[in-house]
């Protein structure tokens, strides 16, 4: 069950990452949405696999490493295309996965907003950063 879920998740993300002609922000949104769509489609399987009872242990770690490696390649290529240092590609890939995973955990349990809205929020944070939110007047 875990292997099938991981394969579906990886295929969905690979399909999103394959859209090389997208603008970087759109590619980010498409990739986060691909992750959350699989989580939404198989919410019960997702809950079980990532719970303590169904924990994958080293398999989960291997899956995350493979996924981060693929995302890091895309990030690194994009950074090099614009003449930037590709050094942050791998830590950024892991950070994006962690953000999507834990936000997905929160969302799948609460469903207080649509998947599309969550994607927008995560893209806003990861693309524009916290500095994009103006400090309220004091």
pLDDT tens digits, one per residue of 26-43: 999 999 999 999 999 999
Predicted pLDDT of residue 114: 97
Are 104 and 36 contacting, i.e. CB atoms less than 8 angstroms apart?
A: yes
Let me know if residue 101 belongs to a domain: yes
Instruction: Give yes or no for residue 62 having a pLDDT over 70.
Output: yes
Containing structural domain, residue 53: 2-130
Number of domains in the chain: 1
Cα distances (angstroms) measured from residue 47 to each of 51, 95, 126? 6, 21, 25
d(CA 109, CA 119) in angstroms, rounded, equals 16
Instruction: Give yes or no for residue 134 having a pLDDT over 80.
Output: no
pLDDT tens digits, one per residue of 99-131: 999 999 999 999 999 999 999 999 999 998 877
Let me know if residue 138 belongs to a domain: no
Confidence class for position 72, pLDDT limits 50, 70, 90: very high
Let me know if residue 137 belongs to a domain: no
| CATH number, domain containing residue 61 | 1.10.357.10
Percent of the chain with pLDDT over 90: 64
Predicted pLDDT of residue 87: 96
CB neighbour list of residue 114: distance below 8 Å, 6 or more residues apart: none
Higher pLDDT, 36 or 64: 36
d(CA 2, CA 59) in angstroms, rounded, equals 9
Let me know if residue 135 belongs to a domain: no
Mean pLDDT for the chain?
88
Let me know if residue 113 belongs to a domain: yes
Across the range 46-75, mean pLDDT stands at 79
How many other CB atoms sit within 10 Å of the CB of residue 120?
Answer: 15
């Amino acid at each position: 069950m875990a292997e099938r879920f991981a394969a579906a998740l990886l295929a969905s993300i690979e399909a999103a990452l394959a859209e090389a002609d997208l603008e970087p922000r759109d590619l980010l949104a498409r990739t986060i949405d691909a992750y959350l769509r699989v989580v939404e489609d198989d919410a019960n399987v997702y809950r079980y696999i990532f719970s303590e009872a169904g924990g994958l242990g080293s398999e989960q770690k291997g899956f995350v490493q493979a996924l981060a490696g693929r995302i890091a390649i895309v990030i690194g290529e994009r950074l090099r295309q614009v003449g930037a240092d590709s050094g942050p590609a791998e830590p950024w890939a892991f950070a994006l996965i962690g953000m999507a995973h834990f936000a997905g955990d929160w969302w799948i349990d609460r469903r207080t907003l649509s998947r599309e809205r969550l994607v927008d929020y995560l893209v806003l944070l990861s693309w524009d950063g916290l500095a994009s939110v103006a400090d309220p007047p004091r």
